Chains A and B, each alone.
Chain A
Amino acid sequence: MSPLLLEVVTPERMILREEVESVIAPGSEGHLGVLPRHSPLLTTLKPGVVRYRKGGRWERLAVSGGFMEAGPGRVVILADAAELPSEIDVERARRAMERAKKRLWERSPDLDVARAEAALMRSLARLKAAGVEP
């Protein structure tokens, strides 16, 4: 099988650069999978979990939105922020989730719904990537 290079970069640093077998990313129009020799594609990403298979094992990482460019041998994810499971602060993510849920539940009139929803999605992505049940 021809190789597929996965690169995950954020404005502040490069998070990951590895040869993988396949990638599943949370595209804004739905999840999509990329295998080697994919035709060139550019898409926006929602906050969520990126899964990639390496050596037959599925690994995960959390991204909070961004872009993905896929080509025949390379997938580049330009994430606003991204974290490997080992870097995720589970307690903090859980608190952020509770806060966002509470805000959405109470619906005070000056609530920025889109922002609260984005915060909820980000915290859920972190928890999922860390492998804990929300």
Chain B
Amino acid sequence: MSSNIRDIKRRLRAIDNIQHVTRAMKMVAAARLRRAQNRVWAARPYAHKIAEVVGRLAQSPQAKAIPLLAPREINKTGYVLITGDRGLAGAYNANLIGMAEECLEQEDHPTALLAVGGKGTRYFLKRPVEMMGYYEVVDDEPRFSQARELARRLMDLYLEGELDEVKLIYAHFHSALRYEIKVERFLPVAAPALKAAAEADYIYEPHPRRLLEAILPRYCEIKIYQALLEAKASEHSARMVAMESATTNAGEVMEQLTLSFNKARQAAITKEIVEITAGAEALKGHGSRRD
């Protein structure tokens, strides 16, 4: 009986420790999420503006001749999968990896994968998938320079004819509690649709084609940068939610354990009292007979 009480006590302590850890992780994730969210917002003005400009320029008749914009026959598709480096974020990484597997399976021409983030890298390195490369560690705060490096590599692969199409798989950040896994075509660039009809004639310096050639690579870089930021924010939000529910679950388990602990303790006390009274009764009977 007393060994049972000790066991329960040990488990209670263990779960209490777990709850401390999950609560701390939740707080850390919440703080990081706030920072990541701010970065997502800070990057939006530039992204919106450049999308608008690209949309306008892409309407010019010469735009079709620019390789980054022109679709061609697809012989090979490249996928870029953005996952986190660490786990304990609920189903975040598993969902992304699952989506990537689905995408790779349904293509009927050759594919290649580029993994960003340790989780996706480690998973696909062990599988028969052609890897173009991997970035094991994404800094906790993705920098524009990293995005630029990655985007340039993809554009080179596309322009050299190694890949005829590049798609991104990443988590699109909606709110602190929701993200959505997206598969998006990255190359050839899908020119963003214009909301308003082309306004007054623009003066272009230099002429539209040269401008577009200068602006498109930057547009691609910012797309990757945004995807990295959104993925990071989603990862933190997934981790925060997972740790929140882990903390709640630990609380529930502790409540039940406390209940059985109290029951066991009460049972032990009752048993002791019974033993003592039984002993006392026995002694009394013994004494009275002696009188």
Residue positions of A touching B, CB distance < 8 A? 7, 9-14, 27-29, 39-44, 67, 69, 76, 78, 80
SS class of chain A's interface: helix, strand, loop or mixed?
Answer: strand
Quick check: is B137 within 8 A (CB to CB) of the other chain? no
Q: Which residue of B lies closest to A7 (CB)?
A: B45
Does B53 lie within 8 Å of A42, measured CB to CB? yes
Decide if A69 touches B42 in the complex (CB within 8 Å).
no
Query: In the complex, what residues of B have CB within 8 A of residue A76's CB?
Result: 49
Report the stretch among B88-96, B100-108, B125-133, B204-212 that lies at the interface: B204-212
Residues of B within 8 A of A41 (CB): 202-205
Question: Would you call A27 and B200 a contact (CB within 8 A)?
Answer: no
Distance (Å) between the CB of B142 and the closest chain A CB? Answer: 10
A12 touching B144, Cβ below 8 Å: yes
Chain A residues, Cβ within 8 Å of B147 = 11
Interface size on B, as a range, is 20 to 34
Residues of B contacting A: mostly? helix
0/1 string, B174-202, CB within 8 A of A gives 1 = 00000000000000000000000001111
A9 touches B45 (CB 8 A): yes
Residues on B with beta carbons closer than 8 Å to the beta carbon of A10 = 46, 144
Bound CA–CA A78/B50 (angstroms):
8
The answer to whether residues A67 and B215 also contact, given A12-B144, A14-B45, A76-B49 and a CB cut-off of 8 A, is: yes
Residue of A nearest to B200 (CB): A40
- CB atoms of B53 and A43 under 8 A apart: no
B214 lies within 8 A of chain A by Cβ? yes
Q: Using CB atoms, name the residue of chain B closest to A70.
A: B203
- Alpha-carbon gap, A10 to B148, bound state (A): 13
Find B46's partner among A9, A27, A28, A40 (CB 8 Å cutoff). A9
User: In the bound complex, do residue A11 and residue B222 qualify as a contact, i.e. CB atoms below 8 Å apart?
Assistant: yes
Q: Known A-B contacts: A41-B203, A44-B205. Give 12 more (CB < 8 A).
A: A9-B49, A11-B47, A11-B147, A14-B42, A28-B205, A29-B206, A40-B199, A42-B56, A42-B211, A43-B211, A44-B214, A67-B211
Minimum distance in angstroms from A20 CB to a CB of chain B:
18
On chain B, the residues within 8 Å of A44 by CB distance are 205-206, 211, 214-215
Whether A69 contacts B49 by the Cβ 8 Å rule is yes
Q: Which residues of A contact B211 (CB under 8 A)?
A: 42-44, 67
Q: How far is the CA of A43 from the CA of B204 in the complex (A)?
A: 6
B221 within 8 A of A: yes
Within 8 A of A (CB), among B222-271: 222, 225
Residues A69 and B53 in contact, CB atoms below 8 Å apart: yes
B273 interface hit (Cβ, 8 Å): no
